[in-house]
Chains A and B, each alone.
Chain A
Amino acid sequence: MSIELKNIAKTYDNNSWILKGINTRIKTGEFFAIVGPSGCGKSTLLRMIAGLIPISSGDLQIDNHSVTNLPPCDRNLTMVFQDYALFPFLDVEANVGFGLKARKMDVVKIEERVANALALVDLTAVKKRKPRELSGGQRQRVALARAIASDAKICLMDEPLSNLDAQLRGKMRSEIRELQQRLGLTLIYVTHDQIEAMTMADRIMVLNEQQVQQVGSPAEIYQYPANSFVATFFGTPRMNLLKAHCTQIHNHSLVIDPQLSFPTPFDLPAGDYFIGIRPQSFTIVAQISKANATIKNIEYLGTEFIVYVELDNGAKIRIAAAKQSSLSLNERILVKTPEDFLIFDHAGRAISSMKGTQKNGRTTKQAVQTAQ
């Protein structure tokens, strides 16, 4: 079942907007993540789709039928809550069958569906337990089982993994993804965790400051971010943003210092720019006379090092180094111009993303398009 959001907006006082101009179409069977920092309105959007709060303006369509004014139960969807919304006084079985019983479904049928759902999430052994007797991961799975048992083809999830520890979260990520594939669910998944969104979703909607920043596949979002917010939101460690100034037109590069200058894809008007470089893109040359930076701190993460560097002009950058190089604190080093970088205008909109060669027309075009 497909879902279409047409110019959806939310306000509580007809004055200030919580969300504005949300447009997108979610395809049948798609895993669609809505991601953004806390307070960006992602949960509000999900609740509007669920029908728990009214939509202030715009139209919501499911399978091309407007459901904007329908109550939640008539939208044929199900929802998994952050706190699982399990009934503490019911055992696992009854929790899973709650909705079916409320809709007065035949008892035998309920049993069958509940048993199937429990088997799918591997909870059959604990079906007589109360929620308080379960671990966090098990509770999470009860909530999933309830969603499965409802047999709705659209499933909404509101930060379902945020109460779990990191290891369990990783495991549940793949389980949910697997279930979604297996049951052919159209899944809208709200999270503040960019890794979750990147690893699970077919497509991601990035929300910030009441507005959609970008909608695209994880690769698109990562490689061609529409603006500096999206660019810095995805990827660990965070992307570096260096401020550069362009004094005159026909300047073909943005210069940070003599050793660090960035060629531009086309003539840029004079003004302020930001250069975005992922920490992995930098290379460090040690023991050199032409040093332009000092190492301030080094973090060892097992697979890589994060090197905190201060450029001679005062800018602080993060560099991910894969190999154990014999770097030490306060060592003078040379930070070289990387091959991959992005240029954003003074408002943070993407202008180019340089990849491979210095003048890659396609990437430039793509970046400019998304920025508009």
Chain B
Amino acid sequence: MKYLRHFLEFTFYIRKFLLAALIFLATVSSFGTQASAKTRTKIVFWHEMTGPAQVQLNKFVNNYNQSQSNYTVIPQFEGNYNEAVQKILNTHGTSASPALFQSMDISTNQIASSGYTTPVQKFINEDNYDVSKISSIARAFYSQNGKQLSMPFNTSQPVLYYNASLLKKYKITPPPVDPSYSDITRVAKQLYQHSDKKVKGLSIEIYGWFFEQFLANSGTSLANNNDGHSGTPTSVSFDNPAAIAAMKWIQTNIKNGSFMNYGAGTNASTNEMASFLSGKLGMFLQSSASISQLTAGTKDKIGVTYYPHLDNKKANGVSIGGASLWISNDKSLQEQRGAWEFIKYLMSPTNQASWQSATGYLALNKGSQNEPVLQKLYQHYPSSKVPSLQLSKTSPNNTNSGVFMQGLIQERTSVQTAMEQIYNGGNIRQALQEAENSMNSAVKSANKANKVQN
């Protein structure tokens, strides 16, 4: 145990050290570039963006800092989404905590119930900010009883990508823009066979998010109390007709050989994308945020469709993925105000349009669609408009506005274990039932620990 403790402590201190180093660097660099920084209020902003998104985010920060003289936003990278949540909860109330932070979709309930934040609704009311121009399905995900908790920021939609050039080469009719499971099965099977088994037809990463979207798109709740929108959930349901249908669909494709399993986690998505880009994989489900990477990585024409839905049933629409921006309540009113001002800046039509074109995350401001930068993108890659269309065509309801409960990380772990069993040929209902049971007992003890009254 000593070793273990040492190990855990060690990683903790290393992170602390890195954090300190980052703060130092950020401070030094902001002093260097901003001569007038002294009179400005500093807004420490924790985020988890990497790659092009980080570059674009830093651009926004620089532009914002230059556009006004009241605030200096200091962006700090905090590692991955999962770790950031614990950091936020553990530093609250100390001088190390941020005024503004980005936190992932499934941590929403946890952050909200910590009581460590000021809901952005407060500032919306103060400013009479017109939220109707912000995507309703995105807003719905981060609100509780009509109150906006945080501002949706980097938002993606799960979509299906296909290699249009490859389909053309093998003379296969591409899937429709709003495909059913069997539409996809047909294309996958044809691709696999026409290519003499050299190209796999379909891949779906073992990822809880996709599982949640299968349910959402079928209008099925994952947790009771309307996915938590009308009260704290006390149980979950994995073993339901919608989930079984989706898993059966996957197993069908596994059995006919056209399906490729890349497993779970970052390695899975990396490998999956590498295969797709090298023409060894025809279709896969992924976040709309991957689109810029895909278009940059291949000369092949890439097609995009909505998230696949049940045969003979209209799609209910999927919820979103990504993260939102929160304002901490342990900072002065002035700092909180500064954080909000920066949020407003980020949400402007122009910035949202640049955000989408640079990253693939969707522009949430309805005004962005007319911005020249987006118009140009759509002209260049017509398929990049599909995720935005999917987002705007969906009207929010209780089953497609995300699951409002704690312990969703654990939910995803359990679901992913079930998916792994199913992908390796396991019994669908048994795998789902096991996962459901383990999650239900976790929900029970979590509710007990959090003193939830039912």
Q: Do chains A and B touch in the complex (CB under 8 A)?
A: no
What residues make up the interface of A, taking CB atoms closer than 8 Å to B?
none
